[in-house]
Structure 1
Amino acid sequence: MDEPRAIRRLSILIPVYNEARTIGEVLRRVRAVELPYERELVVVDDGSTDGTRDYLQEEASRSRDLVLILHPVNRGKGAAIRSALEAATGDVLIVQDADLEYDPRDYPRLLRPIAEGRAQVVYGSRFLGEHKAMYFWHWVGNRFLTFVANLLYDTTLTDMETGYKVFTAEVARQLRLRSDRWGFDPEITAQILRRGYRIYEVPISYNGREYWEGKKITWRDGLTVLATLLRYRFFDSTPR
């Protein structure tokens, strides 16, 4: 075990695209979590057209803890997170989706292994904690893609596609992310594992939303994830 890690600032990276219905509540929940260190909310509006951008600009004008980045057009979650990484100044960074599927009250559990020096990367597993039942084929897809990641990269993850990914600034500085859209999750996982980091998993709660509530991922995105895992294992020359 490493020495306990002093966390002075937590950067919460929030990619947003057309989430006017939920973004206000997400920000409220993030701020309501009691943590013993400073936090910054790095929010990237990825070309929203439903009023989300107007809300965020007003929120940023009156909030000292919110850093707002605006993409002129929609570029995808991966591109939004790259922009957030460039602006983040925290010792530890956590990805927070802008819907209500993931509960910020899980932050203390997610941060504990890093604060205690047991890990530099932590994933929150939806399959280890309490959760709303997923669509069957989403469950199959998640399990299959996680199995492929385990097979290719010699690990034993239970949830590679989780939205809660936490890592230190040291890890963040080594990432060379290129995927703009749904290739983000396998890309960051592959790069982390190729560099020799072991991912620590903790159980989280999960409240998956329905398509009528704005869920965006489809089976086609699963093909992107699979292709990204294979590319980084066999064809990519990104330095380890």
Structure 2
Amino acid sequence: MTHPLHYWRQKNRYYHEDLERLHRFFVPPGLRILEIGSGTGSLLNALQPSFGVGIDWDAEIVAQAQRQFPHLHFRVQDAHTLDKQDPILAEPFDVILLVNTLGYLADVQQVLERLRRFCTPRTRLILSYHNPLWEPLLSLATVLKQRMPLPAANWLSAGDVANLLHLAGYEVIQQGKRLLLPRRIPLLSTLINRFIAPLPGINALCLTEYTIARPQPDPAWDPPLEEQPSCTVVIPARNEAGNIRRCVQQLPEMGSRTEIIFVEGHSSDDTWAEIQRVQDEYQGIRTIQALRQEGKGKGDAVRKGFAAASGDVLIILDADLTVQAEELPKFFRAVASGRCDFANGCRLVYPLKPEAMPRLNQWANRFFAALLSHILGIRIKDSLCGTKALWREDYWQIAKLRQEWGDFDPFGDFDLLLGAAKRTLKILDIPVRYFPRTYGRSNIQHVRDGLRLLQICAFALSRFKGS
């Protein structure tokens, strides 16, 4: 006999298909996945795990899921008492899912605390749940037999979930809402859910809320230098001959080894020759590579430098030194210690001189940061600072997205930020002081580049809110 859950899933297929799209967006195939409250197993199967385990309290639905998806592993267990005695739970997981499960747990904090034993520092928890504003509508849907009858639920807000995660030893990476019309109505559902639901204000009314979290890092990280990760600093340089030597002189050694890669980009001054002179002068003292750019744009230069990098942690330093090289250890330690996966420079904390960043530029930066924060579901105060840091292994996961997204960003800032958000990396702003140039002129063209940034934000909106 087919379990009633199959009937209700089919009746509300449009809603469940949207849940699948949401999770497929954040979870690439080939990971080890544990799902708490796995139900029919359809979502777990849709994510194409290399090793998938589903836990549910209902023996009948577990048996049917195991028959339907024999390549996955389903168990009847109570999430409150889950342990590693079962061999399939002996190894940690890359992703742990709780999809519409939090509302029916007797003790949410206890379950979240228990799940830590199945985590590594890189594990991601993805929790989805109903917006409490929908409680009256969903209760009515149950009365009208449009929704499966369920026991009394915990109606948790995003703030409640964030607080419970913090108490259980996790930190939130990002939160979001989606799906304003959970039934398929030709044309209307697409119009409302893709174009109206993402709008500020209206987005707060959406049915599905989600939170992505990770285990809190060890605050006491301070190993000896030889045990720390290595580091590569990539310095794109176009018409920056007067700053090359200062870049090397001011750049501190970081971690177990620091590599410097200059990427020269079609300069009309003496930049390339100066890079070669400095490289020769520091031979045997500093590890310096010198590359010439075939393509155009800072983003292309950064990608070329990252492709040649050997360090564990990758850092971008603009050759104009408007952000000082002495600031880079803050970025290195933030990533190497695990406090974040992606360190994003923020120039909008300390006072700014008008000659460093005119008032109009400041407001433009704040606008694009606020817009991107809304789209990505994370807090970013400065989306356009060129100084950033991340793990090399994470960069290559971001780089794979170009096969799907293409090279949409000539600047390199949004390319990395969007990729980091999609790969569920923990992003933190690193406040830095921003100084006027002492050599050369800015390569920014305000009107042209502003229009490009708007196009990039539209692209991000289509991927993150319209997927």
Contact kept? 1:93, 1:169, Cα under 8 Å: yes
Asked if residue 69 in structure 1 is aligned to residue 291 in structure 2, the reply is yes
TM-score of the two chains, using structure 2 as the length reference? 0.47
Distance 1:213 1:19, change over 3 A: closer
- Equivalent in the alignment of 1:79: 300
1:146 Cα shift?
0.6
**Percent pairwise identity:** 25
Asked if residue 60 in structure 1 is aligned to residue 279 in structure 2, the reply is yes
> 2 CA distance for matches of 1:180 and 1:138?
19
Q: Secondary structure at the match of 1:28?
A: helix
Match of 1:181 among 401, 404, 410: 410
Contact kept? 2:408, 2:415, Cα under 8 Å: yes
1:181 Cα shift?
2.6
Match of 2:268 among 49, 53, 64: 49
Contact kept? 2:231, 2:254, Cα under 8 Å: no
Q: Which amino acid aligns with 1:193?
A: A
> 2 CA distance for matches of 1:94 and 1:35?
11
1:208 Cα shift?
3.4
Counterpart mapping for 1:129-140 below 5 A: 129-133=350-354, 134-140=357-363
Match of 1:214 among 428, 436, 441: 441
Contact kept? 2:259, 2:288, Cα under 8 Å: yes
Match of 1:97 among 318, 327, 334: 318
Higher relative contact order at CA 8 Å, sep ≥6: structure 1 or structure 2?
A: 1
> 2 CA distance for matches of 1:124 and 1:115?
16
1:59 Cα shift?
2.5
Contact kept? 1:75, 1:180, Cα under 8 Å: no
Q: Which amino acid aligns with 1:41?
A: I
Contact kept? 2:230, 2:258, Cα under 8 Å: yes
Note the residue ranges of structure 2 that are not aligned, 5 or more in a row.
1-215
Report the count of equivalent residues. 232
- Equivalent in the alignment of 1:110: 331
Asked if residue 203 in structure 1 is aligned to residue 458 in structure 2, the reply is no
> 2 CA distance for matches of 1:167 and 1:190?
13
1:201 Cα shift?
1.3
> 2 CA distance for matches of 1:68 and 1:109?
25
Distance 1:180 1:48, change over 3 A: farther
> 2 CA distance for matches of 1:229 and 1:194?
15
Distance 1:36 1:154, change over 3 A: closer
Match of 1:149 among 372, 377, 380: 372
Distance 1:197 1:235, change over 3 A: closer
- Equivalent in the alignment of 1:191: 419
> 1 CA distance for matches of 2:447 and 2:427?
26
Contact kept? 1:12, 1:41, Cα under 8 Å: yes
> 2 CA distance for matches of 1:174 and 1:75?
23
Contact kept? 1:7, 1:92, Cα under 8 Å: no
Contact kept? 1:44, 1:84, Cα under 8 Å: yes
- Equivalent in the alignment of 2:178: none
> 2 CA distance for matches of 1:55 and 1:209?
18
Q: Which amino acid aligns with 2:279?
A: A
User: Aligned-pair RMSD on alpha carbons?
Assistant: 2.3
- Larger radius of gyration, structure 1 or 2? 2
> 2 CA distance for matches of 1:35 and 1:224?
35
Deviations 1:84-111 (A, max 9, x none): 0100011101100011201111122222
Deviations 1:97-143 (A, max 9, x none): 01120111112222222232221111121112354342011111101
Note the residue ranges of structure 1 that are not aligned, 5 or more in a row.
none
Contact kept? 1:187, 1:229, Cα under 8 Å: no
> 2 CA distance for matches of 1:195 and 1:154?
13
Asked if residue 18 in structure 1 is aligned to residue 239 in structure 2, the reply is yes
Deviations 1:39-71 (A, max 9, x none): 000111111121111111233334251111112
Asked if residue 120 in structure 1 is aligned to residue 341 in structure 2, the reply is yes
Deviations 1:161-213 (A, max 9, x none): 1111110112111122524632x211211111111112111211111339x94
> 1 CA distance for matches of 2:371 and 2:436?
23
Contact kept? 2:398, 2:423, Cα under 8 Å: no
Distance 1:129 1:136, change over 3 A: closer
Contact kept? 1:10, 1:91, Cα under 8 Å: yes
Match of 1:162 among 376, 382, 385: 385
Contact kept? 1:79, 1:179, Cα under 8 Å: no
Q: Secondary structure at the match of 2:241?
A: coil
Contact kept? 2:244, 2:278, Cα under 8 Å: no
> 2 CA distance for matches of 1:138 and 1:208?
13
